[in-house]
Structure 1
Amino acid sequence: MSTSMPTTCQKLRLGETYQGKQGFSYFQGIARETTGSQGICMHILRIPPGGRAKAHLHESHETAIYVLEGEAIMYWGEQLEHRMETNAGDLVYIPAGVPHLPINTGSVEAVAVIARTDPHEQESVRLLPELEDLVPQ
């Protein structure tokens, strides 16, 4: 794919999904692979009740999340020592390089819009299996 900036506006519809390294399925959205974007990606994530990601971080890329529906908790920090509760209407910012692990603890599906400064989205994901056991199942 070209590394030059796209010159036309594009519209996408939610359809295909892909399996992220983090353990969730994402609806394919705006990314270098779909639109040629050079600095951002944006997609929809649906987490089923009880769904849990793998501990991970995004190297060199920031993440912004808007929770549309449901609730979840996110453990974050070098040893996942912090706990953040999120609900519909919350905006969440995750700095580049910060380990985190989200879990849907609710009884309904959690839905969020996720945007990152990584146009490839999965390229900067680094799994942290050594942190998995630090968060209760």
Structure 2
Amino acid sequence: MNPASQPTCQIVKPGNAFDGKQGLSYFQGISAETVGSHRLCMHLLTMPAGARARAHMHEAHETAIYLLSGSAHTWYGARLENHVVLHAGELMYIPAGVPHLPANLSNVPCTAIIARTDPNEQESVVLLPDLDGLVEI
């Protein structure tokens, strides 16, 4: 095997941002696009005060969130009927296929590390515009 074709460790500095389908800007991190990852994606999200995402789900992958600072509200379920508040230092798990809508209702930004089991940053994001109006913020 050619040594140049073997996988290697890489450092990624989350400097470049991209706009996700969900309506939020993410800092690029570990993904198929940045390092050639095959099974995971991990990036940094800072949600400005008052920001909210579009209702969506990740069709084929699970999501894990660790909130570094601030607090974030998330509505989830078939009709966004459930509501939780995630605080700094807490983790949240979102199963594949579960509709959800996160928002920062505070007057300060919140920052999270987000990991997903799909290595592509946006490939299995499914927007759910019919659910957007169910949560008034």
For the criterion TM > 0.5, the same-fold answer is: yes
Runs of 4+ more than 6 Å apart: none
AA at the equivalent of 2:134:
L
Secondary structure of the equivalent of 1:101? Answer: strand
Tell me, in whole angstroms, the C-alpha distance in 1 between the residues paired with 2:89 and 2:136: 26
Counterpart amino acid of residue 108 in structure 2: V
How far the C-alpha of 1:50 sits from its partner, in A, is 0.3
Q: How far does residue 14 in structure 1 lie from its aligned partner after superposition?
A: 1.4
Partner of 2:34 in structure 1?
34
Contact persistence 1:26–1:45 (CA under 8 A): yes
2:116 corresponds in structure 1 to 116
1:16 is matched with: 16
C-alpha separation between the residues in 2 aligned to 1:72 and 1:37?
Answer: 28
Residue matched to 2:134: 134
Matches within 5 A, 1:43-58: 43-58=43-58
Which sections of structure 1, spanning at least 5 residues, go unmatched?
A: none
- Structure 2 gaps of 5+ residues are none
1:104 partner amino acid: N
Name the count of aligned residue pairs. Answer: 133
Q: Tell me the secondary structure at the aligned position of residue 119 of structure 2.
A: coil
Q: Does 1:102 align with 2:99?
A: no
- Larger gyration radius, structure 1 or structure 2: 2
Match status 1:75 vs 2:75: yes
RMSD, matched Cα: 1.1
Residues 8-67 of structure 1, C-alpha deviations (whole Å, 9 max, x = no match): 000011110000000000000000010000000000000000000000000110000000
Query: 1:89 matched to which residue of 2?
Result: 89
Letter in 1 for 2:73: I
Distance 2:90 2:110 in 1: 12
Change (3 A) 1:126 1:6: farther
Rounded to whole Å, the distance in 1 between the matches of 2:60 and 2:33 is 19
Q: TM-score under structure 2 normalisation? A: 0.95
CA shift digits 1:79-136 (9 cap, x unpaired): 0000001110110000000000001011110000000001002000000000011101
